[in-house]
Structure 1
Amino acid sequence: FENPIVIDSGMKKEVFATFPIEIAVFLESGSPEKPLDIFTLAKQKYTLYGDVKTGTICKYWPTQQSTTIPEDLDPMVEGIMALTINNRTNEWKEVSKVVFDAYGMKIYYDEEKVGMKGAMFIKEDDLSETGFSNKPIVKNMKKAREVYRKKKSAIQSGTKFVMESGI
């Protein structure tokens, strides 16, 4: 976040933020599972979350927090995330970054906006867990096709992201 969010111990806070839109192109005669291409109209920037040897490469997106749904966004460039932050610790916490696993995204859209709901659970000093809700940010939005799907395997790791290197 461009300005950190401060949250009291044991409290829950709901904010709105933005995220970059990626557009997938599918061939009608091709596989419904595999896009021909994925592109974005947003400026792309990447960052490393965690330590240099074992960290996670993430898409970097600066955003402001808001208590209301942001207006006047280009839905081809930016989407709206309704984010619920739960501070389950006994201390005040400052949140300056949130990392999500793209494979868990549940994106919805209508004529004017694109959105998704996310949650962050602060569990300890530098440990939190993030994930997505399978509900739209406002009623009557359509669910987008899920492009990033976990492959089925003998070991399922889920689609939550555990933030162990700070919030």
Structure 2
Amino acid sequence: MVSVYGTYGYEATIGTGQINLFVTQRSGMVEYSRDCAGSTVKKHVASESGRIIVNPIEPVNLPEEVTRFLEIQFDPLLLEPSSRQTVYLTFPIEIGVFIAAQGDVHLLDIFSLNQPRYSLYGLPDWGYITRWHRSALHHEIPATDPLREGVLALEIKNDASTWVEVSRAVFDSVGMKIYYNTFVSMWAEMRVINSTVAETNFFDRPLVHGMTRSLEHYTILKIPGLHREEFLMDAGLN
């Protein structure tokens, strides 16, 4: 599998058959073009020197910024009281292209090979619109296409004194920490409070040694006051 992820100069041709990116420079102008499954974009940037960075980003941006929450539905898992279990899920990939110059970074493009699906977690008058993804539940790291799906290691801790069944997890993408090499990964935790309530958050660590951390879209946006570490799932775990 040929990956598009990495750092490039202002003269680069990056191609996989599914995704093709072209970067050229003429007279202090950078020309950027992209073809992803027939969807094309062309942009011009006034910049003398810098870098192009391509990496997976938080998968909540397309076709537009409808939500910042990701919901993953998976095969039901029954947890005994006061237990802990790590499972592996998949999540959809969106790819960000950044331009870094003069000590600053700007988001140039976002694209994906996936067609986004959305759902509602909670009730219409107080719930959350979520980017929805269906995943199988794996007991070890699954093989994935790194241009389409990443691997989420989810540590589920049942703090309740009863058996609890879980079949979905909802996350605030502001806290996502994405890493990549030959595959894309995140590491998260779900702390089950009772049979209907849980709390999720992310760990800032790679799934395996030697992975590179992605630039984060929300960090680049620099929106004042936009910070959240946990998401409270108070509308059910199934």
Count how many residue pairs are aligned between Structure 1 and Structure 2: 162
**What CA RMSD, in Å, does the superposition of the two structures yield over aligned residues?**
1.7
RCO greater where, 1 or 2, for CA within 8 Å and sep 6 or more?
A: 1
2: CA distance, partners of 1:159 / 1:152: 15
1: CA distance, partners of 2:137 / 2:82: 20
User: SS at 1:103's partner residue?
Assistant: helix
1:64 has 2:136 as partner: yes
1:92 has 2:153 as partner: no
The amino acid that maps onto 1:81 is: L
Q: Is the 8 A contact 2:172 2:228 kept in 1?
A: no
C-alpha displacement of 1:3: 1.6
2: CA distance, partners of 1:91 / 1:159: 27
C-alpha displacement of 1:37: 2.5
User: SS at 2:216's partner residue?
Assistant: coil
Higher alpha-carbon Rg: 2
User: SS at 1:140's partner residue?
Assistant: coil
Distance 1:157 1:124, change over 3 A: farther
The amino acid that maps onto 2:191 is: F
Residue in structure 2 matched with residue 6 of structure 1 by the alignment: 78
Q: Structure 1 unaligned runs (5+)?
A: none
1:21 has 2:77 as partner: no
1: CA distance, partners of 2:135 / 2:218: 23
Q: Is the 8 A contact 1:104 1:148 kept in 2?
A: no
1: CA distance, partners of 2:83 / 2:138: 18
TM-score (norm 1): 0.90
Give the percent of matched residue pairs that are identical in Structure 1 and Structure 2: 36
Q: Is the 8 A contact 2:187 2:203 kept in 1?
A: yes
List aligned pairs for 1:48-127, cutoff 5 A.
48-71=120-143, 73-110=144-181, 112-127=182-197
